[in-house]
Amino acid sequence: MSWRTTSCAHAPGGCSGHALFDTRLGTCGIAWGPGGIVAVQLPEGDPQATRERLLRGLGQRGDPAAPAPEPVRAAIAGIQALLAGQPRNLQEIPLDMSRISPFHQRVYAVTRAIAPGQTLTYGEVAEQIGSKNLFKVFLELHKRLAGMGC
């Protein structure tokens, strides 16, 4: 496994560390804080662009390298396996959703619970989060996908 770690801001909205790691698709990135994963980034044009996009808005600082905790190493291994075409379930990976609105937290809770190989329609997601605004759910899910580089 090839990856490099660096610290970033410990302030609210920041992260404790981040890492770039190799996958079949290219160099991905992951950032974490005390509460879990705060961001994941699919490959950009080069590793530096991936790092910049990952850290956008996270308050990155030039602190010394921070070792990735076990849950982050497990997330990296799971992402690498998924991107290599191996089935994985990452539902147990802790996420720090303190920077995310309550609406987005509900969307993540429902979509993270979708079992590998299963699907939900936008309407089913909206129903499960208690939203009657299907258009808002559709837009938010697509904005999240675009933010992940999809």
Alpha helical stretches, state H, 11-133: 47-55, 70-83, 102-112, 122-129
Task: Point out the least confidently predicted range of 58-62, 81-85, 140-144.
Answer: 58-62
Tokens of 126: 């909206």
User: In 3D, which of 1, 9, 3 has the Cα closest to residue 38?
Assistant: 9
Examine the pLDDT at 13 and tell me if it is beyond 90: no
| Torsion angle defined by CA atoms of residues 33, 58, 104 and 95, in that order, rounded to the nearest 10 degrees | -20
Mean pLDDT of 19-27: 95
Looking at residue 23, what is its pLDDT?
Answer: 97
> At residue 51, what is the residue type?
R
Full-model pTM: 0.76
